[in-house]
Structure 1
Amino acid sequence: MRTFLYKSLLLIALAGTLGSCSKWLELRPADGIVGDDYWKTKEQLAAAVTGIYASMIGLPSGVSDRLQVEYLFMWGEARADMIMPTTNAGNEDIDIYNVNLLSTNSIFSWRSLYRTINYCNTVIVNAPDVPANDPTLTQEKLNNYLSEAYAIRALMYFYLARSFGDVPLKLTATTSDDDLVQLPKTPQADILKQVVADLAKAEPMAVLTFGNRASDKGKITRYTINAIQADVYLWMEQYTECITACDKIISSGKFGLLTGVNLPNLFSNGGNTNESIFELQFDAQAQNPFVGMFTNSRRRYQITPAVMETIYTVDYVNSDSIDYRGSLWVNSGANAVVKYSINATADASYNHWMMYRYADVLLMKAEALNQTGSGRQALDILYTVRRRSHALEQTDLNPSEEDTDGIADFILQERGREFAFEGKRWYDILRNAKRENYRRLSQVLLSMVISTVPPERQQTALNKYRDFNSHYFPIHIYELQTDKNLVQNPFYQ
């Protein structure tokens, strides 16, 4: 299956190309080539693990593609209710907004994620052989490296399963054209089982700290794994397990919510705050793509009217009454997303991409508590997050503690305010819509369509979304042409 390897693209070539992409990306091979003499030293293994992270923030030499975070943003936001294409957007952006999902749309390419998966597989397969050649590599350190590879592989498959449904599952490394295989799709449920298994394997091997803040926030720690576990269990409707995973982070005492005036520091001034759990570290060598996407004169996306009208809202009586998040992360006058461009310019855009932060853990726990009948506890957590951000009274749904659906709606709305433009919105909406066999499809997903899709396209969009198969992307035509074992997802056949 050619998804797993661009011809002649080798793992450590990427690490060499992007060796300085972040503060802690230091080790890289001298010649950028994996040969028979590789996997001999702990330094080579460290460089290989570095290559995994590098694949998430940059591109290997000679590869033309979007950055991975651009895919993660579009997959998580373009089908939801908080962004819309501008007049500068291309037809592919506009098609998604109009619920016209085509297999020729390059936004549905999954190659970036499978490229990262292959780097993880390469480490998982080869790392155990290194101690035989380098006895200075301890078993503990080897386990630490393996935990990073298992966890990132799990994270990539979790994105794929939520985005495409059934996807190919490959757990072996592809290092040459001789290793290319054509694979059929694996059911989403089995993909998620593998994700859970990888995370369970990674958790006891992971470090609690690397000894410095940038690494603790930019690399996989045990707390990162717990955050991914909580997210996966919430998606799978395994609420007790979700709460357990959240409590491992909460009880550590290592994380907290930033106060409202400090919220800008989440995404500027180097990031890596006390609220952060895992964020991708952009810097001068590997800049994020978001200034061009959101804020300059050629921006592709802008906020929807709903962002200020109904999500954050405006207090027209008291001008001093503002939701800090709406005032800091959105330029409402220009309809612009500024979350990732605080203190940034087109020539110096280093703001990090947030994968998980403490507010996410709290709200995931609240959602799980609500689904297990603990509405009062869920509301207590929810109001803690609202208070730190000065959420407006107009957005308080004020549900009773027995109103499970009302609290679920309240949490969903608060997640929209809290994680605006962080690539989570569509997944949050779909998770709530599909809960209990799509019991609330109309109240959650179809109501979103009515509020966002252009009126002349609403009925078509509603008809599409009533088919559960439409909630996942089509497989890109390139994959179907190069892997004859793949079958297009049912809605797009």
Structure 2
Amino acid sequence: MKNLRTKLSILCALTLILSTSACKKFLYEEPKDAPYEQTFWKTSKDVRSAMAGNYALFRGAITNKNNRYYMYGDAIAKNYFTIQYSGDGLEGIQTGDFTFQYNLNSLANYTLYYKSIAMSNTILLKVAAMTDAQLSAENDAVAFRNNTLGQAYFLRALSYFMMVRVWGDLPIVTEAYEDPLNAPQLPRKPKAEVMKLIEDDCHKAINLLTWTYENSGDAKVTANKGAAYALLAHLYLWRATMSNVSSDTPNLVDVNSADTTINTLINRGGYTLTDTANYKNTFIGRSSEGIFEINISENTLEGSNSSIGGGFLNESYVKGNGNNPRYFVVPRYLKDHFATTTDIRYTKGFDVTLPDKPVCLKYSNVTYRNPGQKLNPYLSNNIIIFRLGDMRLLKAEIALYKGDAATATSIINTFRRRNDPNPVLVDNGLSVSDVMDEYIIERGREMYLEGHLFYDLLRTRRYGFIVDWLPEDRFKKEGFYWPVDPALFRNNPFLKQTTYWLGKV
């Protein structure tokens, strides 16, 4: 019992350090003490605890600082939803000015992602060295080791993918340092190298993971082959169009790789689209079309009282929220994206009772921890990172990059027929450019508030439709990337500021 308490206290301490420390070497965790090395990494239970900690660190990285996953992927596009002033200046990001002090010190700081990467690196080092005898509690020690290593590679790749779209060039850390305080400080590496690491890690994960889950409780909220294929597909499309923003011609090698990757995922993953009658179940989580999600479920008391969805919900949905929530849907978005009001994504996704401040209902699975008095509301909606609808719709984008407007038209119209009894279909025979316009509208309907829309606009060069703070000349200067928090330069003389923000921060 004493040994178990020691192990648990060590794991908690490690996770706390990785999650919260403002350590001198900002890329790494604090050094492990001697008891940690002597008592941990001895059994499969230790490994499971460490991996659970890694998922917790990643969840913290994307939810910390006002739900940063959605701030980067949706909010800065501005004309999808509005952030109302609440004293912190967060709304400043919707004008393309990322220099507000609060935003610099929070959203411009990538430390939390590196905490998760550090844990992945540690797991990769330690678990690879464990013997089959140490993992003997498992039915198959080799399979367990492979699965754990695959998940660590996936989480490292996903962390870097989240960052490369936000900052471009990044320090690359793949070594688990036993003494981080004496580890070298590292400069930013070109984004091409970062994306190559992501690609390699995805392939390693795919080779180690399986399509199925040993435990049903792990389904969707831990990585399997499908999660790694989905990440790889997004990486290929981002690299195909964003490696060189001076050109609007996609790299067809990467486009074809994305196509092959998605085909494998669809054909072998066993995913199916959620029936439209159960539309909102997709966003509660663990639906038939979920590929990879971050667990935010009240079933395990991991719901959120500060999620992005809760920021939209007014008094009609959450007692005590009032009728002036922090976020509201831009009415122009609804007008531009829904030609009819019979689309299921409109009828079940939005409340327009207050027409000037529509409510997004995508994440509105509210649970009160004190249900009798309706107190302590928590949202029980997983963060959907990848799902089948996303993958199927990306097939239209791939077709357009190949000049195949007819296939893209068919895919878009399939989505419209599926979701709307009175669909306004894309006409056959339109040009690739015109169908791309329709595609980005369809992505806006399907993927609203899922952390993808700003990146969709950048990839397809349709940002001018929505993002009024991003003219073409700023785009060509890569002015969509974020600056690096100046606080990170204090202890690392090798860092350089993001090019566009030199002299501005």
Q: Which moved more, 1:384-393 or 1:415-424?
A: 384-393
**TM-score normalised per structure 1:** 0.82
Give the direction of change, closer, same or farther, for the CA distance of 1:178–1:17 in structure 2 (3 Å limit). Answer: closer
- Which whole-Å CA distance do the structure 1 matches of 2:177 and 2:12 have between them? 13
Which residue pairs with 2:5 in the alignment?
none
1:196-233 CA distances to partner (integer Å, 9 max, x unpaired)? 00011110110211145441211101011111111111
> Using the alignment, how far apart are the partners of 1:307 and 1:282 within structure 2?
27
1:429-486 per-residue CA deviation (whole Å, 9 max, x = no partner) reads 11112xxxxxxxxxx2233234xx6xxxxxxx53773443211001112212232211
Residue 328 of structure 1 aligns with an amino acid whose one-letter code is K
Counterpart CA distance in 2 for 1:68 and 1:387 is 38
Which residue number in structure 1 is paired with residue 223 of structure 2? 220
The residue type equivalent to 1:432 in the other structure is T
Query: CA 1:10–1:431 in 2, change beyond 3 Å: closer, same or farther?
Result: farther
Could you say what secondary structure the match of 1:36 adopts? helix
Closer, same or farther: CA 366–242 of 1 in aligned 2, 3 Å: same
The code of the aligned residue for 1:388 comes to R
Aligned to 1:71: 68
**Match among 304, 311, 336 for residue 293 of structure 1:** 311
Letter in 1 for 2:498: N
Q: TM-score, normalised by structure 2?
A: 0.80
Amino acid at match of 2:72: W
Contact 2:416 2:423 survives alignment (8 Å)? no
Indicate the SS of the match to 2:36: coil
- Of the structure 1 ranges 349-358 and 130-139, higher mean CA displacement relative to structure 2 is found in 130-139
1:370 pairs with 2:400: yes
CA distance in 1, matches of 2:296, 2:207: 28
- Taking the aligned partners of 2:115 and 2:405, their CA distance within structure 1 comes to 42
Amino acid at match of 1:190: E
Amino acid at match of 2:67: E
Distance across 1 between alignment mates of 2:275 and 2:123: 40
Aligned to 1:306: 332
Q: What secondary structure is seen at the aligned counterpart in 2 of 1:236?
A: helix
Asked if 1:248 corresponds to 2:252, the answer is: no
User: Quick one: distance in 1 between partners of 2:421 and 2:198?
Assistant: 35
For residues 10 and 174 of structure 1, what CA distance do their matches in structure 2 show?
A: 18
**SS of equivalent residue, structure 1 residue 169:** coil
Other-structure match for 1:39? 41
Give the total of aligned pairs: 438
- Residues 1:428 and 1:384: Cα distance change in structure 2 (over 3 Å): same
CA RMSD in angstroms comes to 2.8
- The match for 1:280 is 294
Residues 365, 380 of structure 2: 8 Å contact kept:
no
Given the superposition, is the C-alpha separation of residues 212 and 263 from structure 1 closer, same or farther in structure 2, using an over 3 Å criterion?
farther
User: C-alpha displacement at 1:156, in angstroms?
Assistant: 0.9
Task: After TM superposition, give the deviation of residue 405 of structure 1 in Å.
Answer: 1.8
Gaps of at least 5 residues in structure 2 are 1-8, 19-32, 241-253, 314-320, 369-375
Per the alignment, residue 340 of structure 1 pairs with 363
SS in 2 for 1:88: coil
* 1:410 corresponding residue in structure 2: 438
Matched residue, 2:243: none
Name the residue aligned to 2:131: 131
On the 8 A contact 2:454/2:463 being kept in 1, the answer is no
Unaligned runs of 5+ in 1: 1-8, 19-30, 60-64, 316-320, 434-443, 454-460
C-alpha deviation, 1:99, in angstroms = 1.4
Could you tell me how far apart the structure 2 residues matched to 1:484 and 1:391 are? Answer: 60
Q: Distance in 2 between matches of 1:391 and 1:182?
A: 58
Q: How far 1:421 moved relative to its partner? A: 0.5
The alpha carbon displacement at 1:132 in A equals 6.3
Alignment CA distance shift 1:399-1:252 (3 Å): same
Pairing 1:322–2:342 present:
yes
1:84 maps to a residue whose letter is T
Structure 2 CA distance, aligned partners of 1:73 and 1:400? 36
The question of whether the paired residues in 2 share the 8 Å contact of 1:103 and 1:475 is answered with: no
CA change 1:361–1:128 in 2 (3 A) is: same
For 1:102 and 1:344, the matched residues in 2 are separated by 37
> Residue 95 and residue 467 in structure 1: after superposition, are their counterparts in 2 closer, same or farther (change >3 A)?
farther
Structure 1 residues 372, 213: closer, same or farther in 2, change over 3 A?
farther
Distance in 2 between residues matched to 1:193 and 1:276, nearest whole Å: 26
Query: Within 2, Cα distance between the matches of 1:250 and 1:78?
Result: 30
Q: Is the 8 A contact 2:293 2:385 kept in 1?
A: yes
Q: Is the 8 A contact 1:103 1:474 kept in 2?
A: no
Aligned to 1:185: 188
Q: What code does the residue aligned with 1:148 have?
A: Q
Which of 95, 98, 106 is the matching residue for 1:98?
95
What SS class does the counterpart of residue 325 from structure 2 fall into?
coil
CA separation of 1:249/1:135 partners in 2, compared to 1, >3 Å: closer, same or farther?
Answer: closer
The separation in 2 between residues aligned to 1:17 and 1:481, in whole angstroms, is: 20
How far off is 1:17 after superposition?
11
Distance in 1 (alpha carbons) for counterparts of 2:414 and 2:169? 37
The counterpart of 2:211, out of the listed 208, 211, 217, is 208
Deviations along 1:349-396, whole A, 9 cap, x unmatched? 1111100110011011221122123332222222222222218645x4
C-alpha distance in structure 2 between counterparts of 1:98 and 1:123, whole Å? 41
Q: Letter of the 1:479 partner, please give it.
A: L
3-state DSSP of counterpart to 1:355: strand
Determine the C-alpha separation between the residues in 1 that align with 2:278 and 2:494: 51
Q: Superposition pairs for residues 342-357 of structure 1, below 5 Å? A: 342-344=365-367, 347-357=377-387
Q: 2:85 touches 2:91 (CA, 8 Å); kept in 1?
A: no
**Counterpart-to-counterpart distance in 1, 2:454 and 2:421:** 22
Cα–Cα, structure 1 residues 378 and 68, in superposed 2: closer, same or farther, change >3 Å?
Answer: farther
> Residue 16 of structure 1: CA displacement?
8.8
What is the alpha-carbon distance in structure 2 between the residues aligned to residue 202 and residue 263 of structure 1? 31
CA deviations 1:10-52 (Å, max 9, x no partner) are 865366999xxxxxxxxxxxx9x73322211121112111111
Distance 1:39 1:12 in 2: 14
SS of the residue aligned with 1:267?
helix
Report whether the alignment pairs 1:400 with 2:429.
Answer: yes
Kindly indicate whether residue 474 of structure 2 is the aligned counterpart of residue 465 of structure 1.
Answer: yes
User: Which residue does 1:24 correspond to in 2?
Assistant: none
Instruction: Tell me the residue number matched to 2:24.
Output: none
1:289-326 CA distances to partner (integer Å, 9 max, x unpaired)? 2254222346322111222111224x4xxxxx511112
In structure 2, distance between residues paired with 1:373 and 1:10: 56
Q: Distance in 2 between matches of 1:89 and 1:362?
A: 41
CA distance in 1, matches of 2:76, 2:100: 16
TM superposition shift of 1:397: 4.3
Which deviates more, 205-214 or 153-162?
A: 205-214
Separation of aligned partners in 1, 2:65 and 2:406? 39
Pair 1:430 & 2:448 matched: no
Whether contact under 8 Å (1:203, 1:226) holds in the other structure is yes
CA drift of 1:141 comes to 1.5
Q: Which residue of 2 aligns with 1:420?
A: 448
Distance 1:477 1:103 in 2: 12
Kindly indicate whether the alpha-carbon contact (under 8 Å) linking 2:222 and 2:292 is maintained by their aligned counterparts in 1.
Answer: yes
Alignment match, 1:140:
143
1:380 matched to 2:377? The reply is: no
Alignment partner, residue 170 of structure 1: 173
1:224 and 1:466 map into 2 onto residues whose CA distance is: 30
